[in-house]
Structure 1
Amino acid sequence: MRPDRAAPSMSDFCRPPARRSPMLDHVHEDPERCVRAVQSKDARFDGWFFTAVLTTRIYCRPSCPVAPPKVENMRFYPSAAAAQQAGFRACKRCRPDASPGSPLWNHRADSVAQAMRLIADGVVDREGVPGLAARLGYSVRQVERQLLAELGAGPLALARAQRAQTARLLIETTALPMAEVALAAGFASIRAFNETVRSVFALSPTDLRTRRRAVADTPGVLSLRLPFRAPLCPDNLFGHLAATAVPGVEEWRDGAYRRTLRLPHGHAVVALSPQPDHVACRLALTDLRDLSIAIARCRRMLDLDADPVAVDDRLRTDPDLRPLVDKDPGRRVPGTVDAAEFAVRAVLGQQVSTAAARTHAGRIVAAAGTPIADVGLTHLFPTPDDLLSLDPAVLAMPNARKVAFRALVEALASGAVDLGVGADWAKARAELLALPGFGPWTVEVIAMRALGDPDAFIPGDLGVRVAARALGMPDTPGALVARAQAWRPWRAYAVQYLWATGDHAVNRLPA
């Protein structure tokens, strides 16, 4: 979608930096609602809270197929880590550690949500709690206090729960020796690995392996199932990723979106294909220590932790949007595995067609990307440092866009602009807007797809305005901003429904 040159000022449509879900935030503190969810086996609540059973000392997801326990025996926790710290072990039937993540951590902009995104991205394992605190700009004690207050567990316990889940995946889906599983999952010792697995799953690592699913049939490739909250409309999600795929970095092949990933310990190639109740994920890693990070980044790219019922219920309150939502409920906002990569691509795509943007991106990948060996994929997308030395002749675009490109690359490489998973969304917007060649359209597209702000809005976008006009809505940016107040805090999802009215490859799965 190309930007329209006329757009309101940034302050007209940027939301405050901290906003929480109006429906389910802190749902674990409402026992009556939790009991109803458990008794009705409501899968929508999976990941929002966990149910611990006093008599069996296990914890489950709300949709656990086992008969619900007596109400007086239920206790509710905001995280699996909190339930584990309280002495409960994971249910072998419903596998609560494999439930979708809480939507709060991707859709909120406060420090707790930033911390949870960073923990999922492996920061505690790589840099420790002091590194996490430094990234957030708080003391270690402040970070621990905030996480304990909201999640019932500190950063170490949350990272431990993530390591346990990674260990289970490796135990069940590979034939790796346990010592290698322990190292890959991030444990400091075999003893800590054994103790954690026994504590969380009430089974030894060897016992877990005897219960495993079939091992991947391709050596070196992990076959995983990425859960999501239903409904999910894959059309615009995979359609967008496939239609904008950068040659050498991304492709659509055999019913799957494939791409390369640059990860802390190496690189990976992932293939993702939509299934009725999950997204099938085939992942080839050069270093298994990157498993949980790769999964977290793919989940963010596909917006799999979203709460589509909450989103669609809000958008249905608009009579003009209701038919679009009813036709294809569960649209997601396509994201990215690398925010810096997407920001660069957003600049390359200013005022040009999708095909032209792919061509520009393909040129810089061929010139500055890191080569890899794979069938169909040839490179990792270049880092900002790689792009600093790029020959300007490669950039076949107007001089103003070259200036914007260079300014962005320098700002990302120096750290003057932070678009990482723990970035402050309001600060990032201000930093981007200060760069030459960056207007509201570019900044909001980056906020929507790279930062993951669910309320990012682009009223000056040509596709949005055309769709609004066809639906009988006002189509000037200022009037659209006013109309869209009723869609908050889910305006980025409203954009997906509006874009879907157009006849464009981004709106459909490839044949």
Structure 2
Amino acid sequence: MNVDTEHCVRVVQAKDARFDGWFFTAVLTTGIYCRPSCPVAPPKVENMRFYPSAAAAQQAGFRACKRCRPDASPGSPRWNERADLVARAMRLIADGVVDREGVPGLARQLGYSVRQIERSLNAELGAGPLALARAQRAQTARLLIETSALPMGEVAFAAGFSSIRTFNDTVREVFALTPTELRQRAARGLATATPGLLSLRLPYRAPLCPDNLFGHLAATGVPGVEEWRDGAYRRTLRLPHGHGIVALKPMPDHIACQLSLADLRDLSIAISRCRWMLDLDADPVAVDDLLSGDPALAPLVAKAPGRRVPRTVDPAEFAVRAVLGQQVSTAAARTHAARLVTAHGEPVDDPWGGLTHLFPSVEALSTLDPEALAMPRTRRNTLTGLIAALADGTVDLGFGADWSEARTRLLALPGFGPWTVESIAMRSLGDPDAFIPGDLGIKLAAEALGLPSTPGALTAHSAAWRPWRAYAVQYLWATGDHAINRLPIGDSA
């Protein structure tokens, strides 16, 4: 564990919300742990202890503060910025791998021994994979307790607990309240919930510019799978235990999230994937500070700070869509994807909107007839080659994927060049340094700003933007007059 005590003390005394989720402050005299921005008066320095994860604080015997709810703070941006073993493990744990497959399953996906993974996580986070997964289960339980009317027994098993007793003990230990007391506290002043929907608030580090984030998702949305309705981006979700439908709406200080799930065991995974798609755990201040150092980008950052990188809830889905979008317009790419959805997607019922299908799984796409695709033969071969590589595991784009290896294997496939590979690296893999200097929109923006416009020269210039070049792409794209750069008006078709 590497925690700079002096720096942490200054952050806590300043109540700096930018560091919520980076570390947690435990107070010896009260036995609680808080986020750095907790509104309660800071404790004496000698009574502070700092932990790099909520799980580590819980494991040390501290319970969550009832005022600042540290367990619900934004996640650490470290897991978005890095591709080492710990970061890959944390992304997989957030996606529920330990709950579904245990620590051995986590080790298999990462290609390391259980002992190596436990040693690495304990060294950096002060807690092993089981403790980290337990902390996530506790947060899921709290969400279900506070946002649903489910009986506590159903909450316990939906959150991943093996018994009612373990559920009760964990909730009391982590929150210093019984499950019933948590529900009673949350019920005060809350509006009546819509039956079948869970209403949540997804926190983020300010600032957040929603224009390109939601504009991109809405403008490129696949009919039947995605839509913009009532000021919210809605889409279907393929989840481990069933399907889901989510509506995400930008608010001044959070993202309003409404979820409908076929199986409540998928709650924490659905939340994690939505946070990933919206890049909510990013550190926008660090990104914008670095990019503002370039005189060409500084005015763009000052005009609309806090741009995020729109990602995906399904890495394989986006890779398929990236191939469909090669050398065609956004509208044509949506049309190609909609045809795939109609032919191979699974139908779903959406009583609150117009969604009709899940995007086809890799297994379903493996059966498609290339001759039925209305596109050039070379692109058909590119698509079927990608599907085969995803199906047999040659290419891994999952949340625990090695970014460098994934790039190498994608480039080895027929029809894959830098534009497609870097687009997938940016949106499927979540690499914050992915860069597409050959993109037409980037070229036009570079010319308008007086930056080098050839791919080689712009790549050389962009070295000063590392490791945030994917965010620089968002700022450069935003100079153009395209629907991806603005929030939609009205509902999508």
Q: Determine the structure 2 residue equivalent to 1:274.
A: 250
Of residues 332, 339, 346, the one that matches 1:370 is 346
Corresponding letter in the other structure for 1:165: Q
Relative contact order, higher structure (CA 8 A, sep 6+): 1
Corresponding letter in the other structure for 1:42: D
Corresponding letter in the other structure for 1:420: G
Alpha-carbon distance between aligned partners in 1 of 2:194 and 2:184, rounded to the nearest angstrom: 20
1:297 aligns with 2:273: yes
Q: Determine the structure 2 residue equivalent to 1:195.
A: 169
Alpha-carbon distance between aligned partners in 2 of 1:232 and 1:245, rounded to the nearest angstrom: 21
Q: Are the equivalent residues in 1 in contact too, given 2:218–2:233 (CA < 8 A)? A: yes
Alpha-carbon distance between aligned partners in 2 of 1:407 and 1:456, rounded to the nearest angstrom: 23
Corresponding letter in the other structure for 1:444: E
1:379 counterpart SS class: coil
Of residues 136, 139, 163, the one that matches 2:113 is 139
Identity %: 79
Q: Determine the structure 1 residue equivalent to 2:464.
A: 486
The CA deviation at 1:227 is: 0.2
Alpha-carbon distance between aligned partners in 2 of 1:150 and 1:384, rounded to the nearest angstrom: 35
Q: Determine the structure 1 residue equivalent to 2:296.
A: 320
1:40 aligns with 2:14: yes
Moved over 3 A (4+): none
Q: Determine the structure 2 residue equivalent to 1:83.
A: 57
Q: Determine the structure 2 residue equivalent to 1:59.
A: 33
Gaps of 5+ in 2: none
Corresponding letter in the other structure for 2:362: P
Of residues 96, 111, 130, the one that matches 1:156 is 130
Q: Tell which deviates more after alignment, 210-219 or 98-107.
A: 210-219
Alpha-carbon distance between aligned partners in 1 of 2:372 and 2:207, rounded to the nearest angstrom: 43
CA RMSD of aligned residues (A): 0.8
CA, structure 1 residues 216+118, in 2 after alignment: closer, same or farther (shift >3 Å)? farther
Q: Determine the structure 1 residue equivalent to 2:440.
A: 462
The CA deviation at 1:106 is: 1.6
Q: Tell which deviates more after alignment, 367-376 or 84-93.
A: 367-376
Alpha-carbon distance between aligned partners in 1 of 2:320 and 2:194, rounded to the nearest angstrom: 34
CA, structure 1 residues 270+216, in 2 after alignment: closer, same or farther (shift >3 Å)? farther
2:186 counterpart SS class: coil
Corresponding letter in the other structure for 2:156: A
Q: Are the equivalent residues in 1 in contact too, given 2:208–2:284 (CA < 8 A)? A: yes
The CA deviation at 1:29 is: 1.4
Alpha-carbon distance between aligned partners in 2 of 1:445 and 1:372, rounded to the nearest angstrom: 29
Q: Are the equivalent residues in 2 in contact too, given 1:338–1:450 (CA < 8 A)? A: yes
Question: How many pairs align?
Answer: 485
Of residues 317, 338, 343, the one that matches 2:314 is 338
The CA deviation at 1:216 is: 5.4
Q: Determine the structure 1 residue equivalent to 2:394.
A: 416
State the TM-score, normalizing by the size of structure 2: 0.98
Deviations 1:151-193 (A, max 9, x none): 0000000000000000000001111111000000000000110
1:273 counterpart SS class: strand
Alpha-carbon distance between aligned partners in 1 of 2:55 and 2:439, rounded to the nearest angstrom: 42
1:380-391 → structure 2 map (5 Å cutoff): 380-391=358-369
1:262 aligns with 2:238: yes
Corresponding letter in the other structure for 1:266: G
Q: Are the equivalent residues in 2 in contact too, given 1:364–1:394 (CA < 8 A)? A: no
Deviations 1:392-413 (A, max 9, x none): 2431111110000000001111
Q: Determine the structure 1 residue equivalent to 2:93.
A: 119
Alpha-carbon distance between aligned partners in 1 of 2:472 and 2:346, rounded to the nearest angstrom: 36
Alpha-carbon distance between aligned partners in 2 of 1:126 and 1:279, rounded to the nearest angstrom: 28
Q: Are the equivalent residues in 2 in contact too, given 1:183–1:289 (CA < 8 A)? A: yes
Alpha-carbon distance between aligned partners in 2 of 1:392 and 1:371, rounded to the nearest angstrom: 22
Corresponding letter in the other structure for 1:159: A
Q: Are the equivalent residues in 1 in contact too, given 2:370–2:384 (CA < 8 A)? A: no
Alpha-carbon distance between aligned partners in 2 of 1:430 and 1:406, rounded to the nearest angstrom: 18
Q: Are the equivalent residues in 2 in contact too, given 1:172–1:215 (CA < 8 A)? A: no
Alpha-carbon distance between aligned partners in 2 of 1:94 and 1:185, rounded to the nearest angstrom: 22
Deviations 1:238-272 (A, max 9, x none): 00000000000000000000000000000000000
Alpha-carbon distance between aligned partners in 2 of 1:212 and 1:360, rounded to the nearest angstrom: 46
The CA deviation at 1:220 is: 1.2
The CA deviation at 1:391 is: 2.7
Alpha-carbon distance between aligned partners in 2 of 1:130 and 1:286, rounded to the nearest angstrom: 27
Q: Determine the structure 1 residue equivalent to 2:376.
A: 398
Alpha-carbon distance between aligned partners in 2 of 1:392 and 1:377, rounded to the nearest angstrom: 26
Gaps of 5+ in 1: 1-25
